Amino acid sequence: MDTPVLAEALTLLQKESKNWQVPIVTLVAERSRDPFQVLISTLLSLRTKDEVTTEASRRLFSQAVIPRDMLKLTAARIEKLIYPVGFYKRKADNILLICRILLDEYGGQVPGDLDTLLKLPGVGRKTANLVLTLGFGKPGICVDTHVHRISNRLGYVRTRNPDETETALRAKLPLEWWIPVNDILVAFGQALCKPVSPWCSRCPVAGLCERTGVTRSR
C-alpha cells in the first residue's frame, strides 16, 4: 500500500470512527488537557480493557490530579483505587516513583520530550508518544497492538513488532496523520478489525486492504 492509498484509508476510517468508541486516554486528554493525567491514565491502560481503565482513572483522579497530591496517597491506597487494572501493584509503585521524580527533577511538571519521558519508571514508547501527542500536541506516532496489527494487515508496512512499526511509519506516514493515526486505528481495531476473524464484510476500507495474515474473517 503506497502513501496516497493509506491517506485515503485513514480519511475514510476517520469519518467512520465517529461511530466507534473513543479510546479512554483520548477522552482523558480531551477533558483535562493535562499531560500528567494523560501519562497516568496511559500507564493504567497498559494490558487493561478500556472500560476498566475508565473507572480506575476516575477513582484515582477523584483523589489526586497533581503529583504532589498523589504522593499523599499510599501505594496500598492507589492499588485499591486502580484495581483491577493489569499489574496494579507494580503500577501503583511506578505512579509514586514517577510523581517523586517529577517533583524532584522537573518542578512537578511532566517533561515534554520523548527521551526524558522514556526514563520514567514503567514508561515505554507507546506511553511516551501518547503523552507527547495527546498531552502536548507534539508530533509523535503511538504504536500499540492495534496500530501494529492493522498497519501490517493493510500492507502499508511489513514489520515484526511495534517498535519496528513506529520506525517504519515515521519514515513514510505523512506528518498530518502522526497524531490521529493511533485514535483512528485503535477505534477501528476495537470495533471491526479484530485480531482474529475481523469484520471484513463491514469494513469501510476493505477494497484498499491487502488482508495480510487474515485467514478467517466475517
| Catalytic residue check, 144 | yes
Q: How far is CA 147 from the centre of its chain?
A: 9
| Catalytic residue check, 34 | no
- The DSSP 8-state label assigned to residue 131 in this structure reads I
Q: By C-alpha distance, which of 217, 206, 214 is closest to 13?
A: 206
CB 160 within 8 A of CB 154: no
Q: Exactly one of 126, 138, 163, 194 is catalytic; which is it?
A: 126
- Could you give the CA distance from residue 205 to residue 13 in angstroms, rounded to a whole number? 7
Question: Residue 128: what are its φ and ψ, rounded to 5°?
Answer: -60, -45
CB 119 within 8 A of CB 39: no
Q: Exactly one of 89, 104, 138, 144 is catalytic; which is it?
A: 144
Q: Is the dihedral of CA 26, 32, 36, 37 positive or negative?
A: negative
What would the grid cell of residue 215 be?
485467514
- Could you give the CA distance from residue 27 to residue 188 in angstroms, rounded to a whole number? 16
CA angle in degrees (0–180, nearest 5) for 21-147-160: 155
Q: Which residues are catalytic?
A: 126, 144
